[in-house]
Amino acid sequence: MARHGGRGWYGRVIAAAVGVTAVAAATSVWTAQAGPVDGRQAGAGASARPSASGAAEPGRAPVPVEIVHASDRGARGVNITIDDGPDPDWTPQVLQVLRDNGVKATFCMVGTQAQAHPDLVKAVVAAGHRLCDHTVSHDTTMDTKSDSYQSQQILDAERMITKASGGVRPLYYRAPGGAFTPYSRHLAASRGMRPLGWNVDSKDFERPGTDAIISTVENEVPNGPTLLFHDAGGDRSQTVAALREILPWLKQQGYSFGFPVLR
């Protein structure tokens, strides 16, 4: 699975993040097929635990630490997930396509982007979509870093996104590039955020052309329900155009749209 490394846009995000204070069993028929697609996915039986700073808060129900792929709509459900935003140019267009098709999605937001565009975070929430913590700076080498660094990236992003949304917390955590660790999964789960993987990488980040994005999704959707797209990190016009074709096609194939299961 591509790690999407070496992105200039993320370099700017990381620079913007300097100085930020340091601080899950699936039920779908697809779940058993989903394990290998999460990059350096950590083993579900690992014993690492988060530090005390990641203790669950009162009122926040615990969620499983396993990486979820299944849809709450069952065997014919699909989950649309949108990564790396919000972005002032592309997020509104993605929201419009989703609205036009009556589809709800999960937006995996980078903390500094959420902090910079709180109006867009609020628009995502107001439209009935769910939020996901995608760390402060989208470091795809997260799984090689210290526990304290992982904690800072996850917890600071959670706070940024929650503040930008007006108090709505992210329900999921997606490691950049699939760079999960046992520690990060346990930490996220202790905060009520289910670790979230994917089954189908649309490859839209590479801008291969609208037709190529559509073809990838059509060919690979049998692999599982959770589809990965992007609304930031560069020109996302191909993503918007592809979604206009993919969402009606999925409906025609008998799929319904849902969210990744939480518990």
Domain spans of the chain, in order of start: 81-263
DSSP per position, 66-119: SPB--BTTGGGEEEEEEES---TTTHHHHHHHHHHHT---EEEE-HHHHHH-HH
Element (H, E) at 257: strand 256-258
pLDDT at res. 19: 35
**For residues 79 and 71, what is the distance between their CA atoms, to the nearest angstrom?**
6
Q: Do residues 262 and 194 lie in contact, with contact meaning Cβ atoms separated by under 8 Å? A: yes
Active site residues: 83, 230
Question: Which of 75, 60, 39, 43 minimizes the C-alpha distance to 221?
Answer: 75
Whole-number average pLDDT of the chain: 84
- What topology is assigned to 81-263 in CATH? TIM Barrel (3.20.20)
Q: Which residues of the chain have pLDDT under 70?
A: 1-61
pLDDT at res. 229: 98
pLDDT digits (tens, 9 = 90+) for 106-125: 999 999 999 999 999 999 99
**For residues 25 and 34, what is the distance between their CA atoms, to the nearest angstrom?**
12
pLDDT at res. 60: 65
